[in-house]
Amino acid sequence: MLKRDAMHWTLTLALCLPLGVSAAELYRYINDKGVVVLDRTGVPPEFIGNGYEVLNDQGRVVQVIPPAPSLEERQRLQAEKARASSDKQLLRLYSSVEDVDRARERKMVELKGVISVAQGNLQSLRTQQGNLQSQAAGLERGGREVPEHLLAQIENLKAEQVGLQKDIQRYQDARKQAEAGFVADRARLQQLLNR
């Protein structure tokens, strides 16, 4: 008995739902020929992006689905969202323009120190290379052959110097980027605080 009542209830529900939904909703959209179409079954997938309206059984609009944003609009919205996130982060980091100036000064001193250390290391490598080359030259002048390990050390020192020069260039670029970043942050924070 209970099983039969459950089947009866399921069958009644299944019959009523499609009728209720289709009787209550009508979809209005524009097809690819520019013709307004009214359809009870829904909007074909290729026209959903153009937007459509849902009407009730009296023909009144109950819901308007706007067109999907264009690529430019999506990019603009993403840029606005990124800007809002960046502004929030900026206001969390700094409470005044002076805070930006102090942070900038600390960063510049830090990068200057890193560059100075790298330049000192580079000078030390050059001195070591010069000493090894003097030894090699002394051996050649004395008519002796320069040992392979000495030549290998000179080559290694040259390679280390190239690596350090790249590091120094990278640090200098980072300093310029940091400087530009702080200038931009300062200007934007001024705008936000003046609002």
Rounded to two decimals, the pTM is: 0.59
Grade residue 24 by pLDDT with cuts at 50, 70 and 90. Answer: low
Please name the helix (run of DSSP H) or strand (run of DSSP E) that holds residue 62, with its range, or none: strand 61-65
Helices (H), the chain: 2-24, 45-48, 71-93, 97-141, 148-194
Q: Is residue 194 packed enough to be buried (19+ CB in 10 Å), middle (13-18) or exposed (0-12)? A: exposed
Give the model confidence (pLDDT) of 39-54 as tens digits. 999 999 999 989 999 9
Written as six digits, the tokens of 92 are 């969390």
pLDDT at 8 exceeding the cut of 70: no
Check if the beta carbon of residue 175 is closer than 8 Å to that of residue 115: yes
Distance CA 148, CA 152 (A): 6
Phi, psi (5° rounding) for residue 33?
A: -95, 5
Give the model confidence (pLDDT) of 159-178 as tens digits. 999 999 999 999 999 999 99
Give the three-class secondary structure for 28: strand
Give the model confidence (pLDDT) of 54-107 as tens digits. 999 888 999 999 998 888 999 999 999 999 999 999 999 999 999 999 999 999
- Give me the residue spans of the domains in the chain: 2-65, 84-194
DSSP bridge partners of 54: 27, 63
Grade residue 18 by pLDDT with cuts at 50, 70 and 90. Answer: very low
